[in-house]
Amino acid sequence: GDLLPADGVLIQGNDLKIDESALTGESDHVRKSLDKDPLLLSGTHVMEGSGRMVVTAVGVNSQSGIIFTLLGAAGDDED
C-alpha cells in the first residue's frame, strides 16, 4: 500500500480502501467514497483501489503532523 503524504478530500475513486490503523488503531480497512467518507489522512496506507484527491494540508498542518507536534510538546515537559 502506498503511503498518503498529505491530508485531502477524495474527488475520484475506484473501490478505495484505506488502512487508518496508524492514526486510529483500528485494523479494519476503511472504504472511502465521494458520498460517505471522502476524507483521506496523511500517514495512512492505500490497501485497495485507486483515487485522486485535492490536498488540504501538509506537514505540521496535517492530522499526523498535529499528532506528532502534540506528542513532541508532551515530551518537552518532562525535562
CA distance 34 to 36: 6
For each of the domains in the chain, give its residue range(s) and CATH number, in order of start: 3-71 (2.70.150.10)
How far is the CA of 55 from the CAs of 16, 43, 58, in angstroms?
A: 17, 14, 8
pLDDT digits (tens, 9 = 90+) for 58-78: 999 998 888 889 988 766 555
Is there a contact between 35 and 13 (Cβ–Cβ < 8 Å)? no
Number of CB atoms found within 10 A of residue 12's CB = 10
pLDDT digits (tens, 9 = 90+) for 26-54: 889 999 999 999 999 999 999 999 999 99
pLDDT at 78: 55
3-class secondary structure, 50: strand
pLDDT reading at 11 higher than 80: yes
CA distance 75 to 3: 26
